[in-house]
Structure formats: structure tokens, C-alpha cells
Structure 1
Amino acid sequence: MTSIPRTVVATALGVDAAALPPGDLPLDRLAARFLAYLRAGDDETPAPADHPDAWTFALIDVLTRDHPALGLAATCAALAACNSPEDVALVAAGPLEDLLKANGAALIDQIEALAARAPRFAYALTGVWPPEQGAPLLWARVRVLTEEVPGLDDGAPLPPPDGLA
């Protein structure tokens, strides 16, 4: 998958599709703008609500919750666009964690396959925290994927984005 259908974008953002630019939204463009939005904030202060790319946060939130396959594709695109461990931490603690909480059981087979073939995806999983009331079997499967992975908290370097597409 290389783009988000225009109708999905319009519905997620609560706007008429005619108000959007023509065509579907390429995942690489969404990822670049989403990371620009995330980088506008810091540990103490989130990015401002009036940031020009704030819409990407709202869109990815809807995708991770209501469109799991698109949410996973958008999350992978964001991880591929990361330039630093700090970028990966933002994606891990945001859309990747949200995706696992909302749709992890439905996506766990795909997540396991991604972690096996994409070092950066496995690395990102080290930055995900299970919810206190989460599905224990799901989170046990996720933890197995990270047992041998040098992770974000270990100060490990950023792995290549191979296997994310």
C-alpha cells in the first residue's frame, strides 16, 4: 500500500473530499508531515494544535483505531522516514503503541512478520509500553519480539529501514 484513499482521509478529518487536494494521500508524504508535526513538540510541550501539520496527528489517530491495515502502513511509513532514535521513540510511543492497544490482536501475525524482516520495526517495538489493563497474551508475544533487540532505552543506534515497505 502506497497511499491513503482520499475518502478515508476526508472522513477521518471530518471534511468534504472536495476540500482536499486531488488524489489519494501518499504514505511517504503523510509520514514526512507527521514527523514534522511530532518534532515541533518536545518532552514537556506537545506540538501546538495550530501547527500546519496537526491534521496528520488526527488522521493517524483515526487510522490506528478504525483502519488497522492503513494504520500499520502509515506507522511503517513514519518509521521508514525517521532520522534518529528520538524520531523512532516518538512513533513508538504514539501510533505504534496506539495501534497495538486498539488492534494488536488482529495484527499480531503481521507485526511478528514485520519484526522478523525489518530491524527498525523490532527496534521501535522496544519503545512501546503495554497498558495496565492490556491483553497479556498479546503483550507477551510483543515482548518476545524484542528480547534480543538492542533497543531505544539501551542507546542502540538507529537500524536501517529495510523491510518496512
Structure 2
Amino acid sequence: MQAPLPVDRLVEEWLLWATWQRDPQNHGRHNDDLIGFDEFDWVVRKHPEHAWQSIVATVSDPRAEPFLGVLAAGPMEDLLGYHGPSFIERVEVEARRNPQFAWMLGGVWQCQMSDEIWARVQKVWDRRGWDGIPK
């Protein structure tokens, strides 16, 4: 059984990938040397507790600020879609405690989340600045 990367390394690898993919020159290209996207995706599915810790750590890293929309629409959205009942209470607590986390939640869409989980996300998210909503 494969063990996930340590949280700090997963965050680092994901930030390397996010930085690379944001460059317009790389649009539509794939870089096999960057494992951050695939590793985070796997961790969300197979090691959700580790994924939660990695999401919180990523939000707390100042370098991640330009990529919080990608974090929201990827790992956070998927964690809630696959494992929402196990994590929604922690999401609510973290959103009330951490404005940056609440703002990141503003970029989450319902996708695979149950209506109940989705309603709870909407109660704690901060949508200011998303989809043309004034800050």
C-alpha cells in the first residue's frame, strides 16, 4: 500500500503544479514531472483525513492565495463530494475560525455533494469576490 506524501511535501508539490499550470504558455499542456495534482486527487479519494490536513495547510500558506479557486474547485469540492458527512463539521468550524478558508469555500460548487452538505457549505462560505459579487 502506497503511503501519501507528508502534508508539507504534498502542499509544496501542489503549489509547484498550480504555479506551472497558471502560466499561459502551459495552457493545455501536461508536465509528467509535476505530481501535485494527481497526488492530491489520490489523497482526497483514498486518504481523506490526510487530504483535510493538506487543504488546511494549503489555505494557510501565503503562496497559495492566487490558487485558492483551484483548491476550492478541486480538492475541497471533491473531499466534500466523496466524504462530506465525515468532514462538514470541521469545514464549518474552520470557516468560522479562518476568513481565508471561508473565502476559499466561496469557489466550491455542489457537484457530487448531497443537498444537506451543500446547504451547510453555503451557510459558512464567503462569496465576496466570486462570480462578480462585490468584495
Q: Establish whether TM, by shorter chain, passes 0.5.
A: yes
Aligned residues: 131
| Contact persistence 1:127–1:151 (CA under 8 A) | no
1:56-101 Cα offsets, whole Å, 9 max, x none, are 2222111111211111111112222243643111111111111111
2:66 is the alignment partner of 1:86: yes
1:6-31 Cα offsets, whole Å, 9 max, x none, are 9513xxxxxxxxxxxxxxx4422321
RMSD (Å), alpha carbons = 2.5
TM-score (norm 2): 0.82
Instruction: Name which of 3, 16, 20 aligns with 1:8.
Output: 3
- Provide structure 2 residue ranges, at least 5 long, that are not aligned to the other structure: none
Secondary structure at 2:60 match in 1: helix
CA separation of 1:99/1:47 partners in 2, compared to 1, >3 Å: closer, same or farther? Answer: farther
- Which structure features the higher share of helix residues? 2
| Contact persistence 2:84–2:117 (CA under 8 A) | yes
CA separation of 1:82/1:93 partners in 2, compared to 1, >3 Å: closer, same or farther? Answer: farther
Instruction: Name which of 88, 112, 118 aligns with 2:92.
Output: 112
- Provide structure 1 residue ranges, at least 5 long, that are not aligned to the other structure: 1-5, 10-24, 157-165
| Contact persistence 1:93–1:129 (CA under 8 A) | yes
